[in-house]
Structure 1
């Protein structure tokens, strides 16, 4: 049996710590009788389990960089923002979340490229094409998300965009910045090792 890389072991520790924290929140707020606070940690446990099931079902392991940023995103958005109410403590936390989403979507775009090319017998998949497609995918999805929020506001009367074009555009800009930085990171990895960025262990 192949031994896990150190990066994946640290991700296991991070995920395990979040699961324990979620269970602790369920127990604590259950004792306090605060049902509203129980929902979020239960949802976190479901999300963590769902990610593992999807990875197993699709037979597409997440490389360490993507898995870490996904776990970090869950921690920031679901624990800090929703469970512990950090929206009122950390300025512009919503923009930080959009920044992280840009990073995540870039890695997901890379994963899609890897899945699309792995059965083509390509001896040397193009790192340049992979990175450009990943960047474009992330930027496009930032726009798609804002279309979704706009549609929810129009058809269901929500206030996801605060009735502001500025909010919409800054969300897209934050996502694009995150995607660009993630793409630059992939460029540095591609220069150090020709194509490790399409392999699971990186």
Structure 2
């Protein structure tokens, strides 16, 4: 377990080294607004690792790596290197976030239950939990974007209610789609990624 966790720390450290190199490059160019975004990304990586070590996500390697990938795509490529200028890149991120949030919701569901209780409750319970969690977090994410836009002058929401609503729809829709394999797993179907997540969580609950 110790060696595995060292690997997770190493991946996060590599990401931070990339950020430091990028920060130096942006500083030389005088692009100070991007330096602030790099700082936010750095803090987010630290918080992600802290959650991996201390929260209900403890020891869940798959979720940790997925979260780092999403941070790389959204906060690093999109915000630091302006990938948001690519048509529909924002919608791609919100679609992807729906799957990420749904998996996190399922991890929370596993953490709050036991193997025996999951066998006894209705198979739809996990699905309903994940769908509601995904929809709620899609809304919370838009609140976060609205807050950062208001405080720091960002343009994540493009000052558009239509953009905001489509973002929520994208995240919620993929959250619903992601709940399908979760339901299949609860009915006895073997889903590899879900089996791996459950194994990680159960191992670290002991």
Superposed displacement of residue 138, structure 1: 0.3
TM-score, with structure 1 as normaliser? 0.73
1:122 alignment counterpart = 117
Superposed displacement of residue 135, structure 1: 1.9
Q: Distance in 1 between matches of 2:3 and 2:52?
A: 19
Q: Distance in 1 between matches of 2:113 and 2:82?
A: 43
Superposed displacement of residue 158, structure 1: 8.6
Between Structure 1 and Structure 2, which shows a larger proportion of helix residues? 2
Superposed displacement of residue 150, structure 1: 7.0
Note if 1:108 corresponds to 2:101.
no
| Matched length | 197
1:131-177: CA deviation from partner (whole Å, max 9, x where unpaired): 331122102332444467678999xx997655644323321221123
TM-score, with structure 2 as normaliser? 0.72
- Worse-superposed segment, 157-166 or 55-64: 157-166
Task: Note the 1:82-97 alignment, pairs <5 A.
Answer: 82-88=79-85, 90-97=86-93
RMSD of aligned alpha carbons:
3.9
- Worse-superposed segment, 191-200 or 127-136: 191-200
1:56-89: CA deviation from partner (whole Å, max 9, x where unpaired): 333641523322321122111111111101112x
1:28 alignment counterpart = 25
Note if 1:69 corresponds to 2:66.
yes
Q: Distance in 1 between matches of 2:154 and 2:71?
A: 23
Note if 1:15 corresponds to 2:12.
yes
Where does the alignment leave 5 or more consecutive residues of structure 2 unmatched?
none
Task: Note the 1:127-166 alignment, pairs <5 A.
Answer: 128-146=124-142, 161-162=157-158, 164-166=160-162
1:2-61: CA deviation from partner (whole Å, max 9, x where unpaired): 7639xx95x666534322211211222334444333222232222111222233333641
Where does the alignment leave 5 or more consecutive residues of structure 1 unmatched?
none
1:39 alignment counterpart = 36
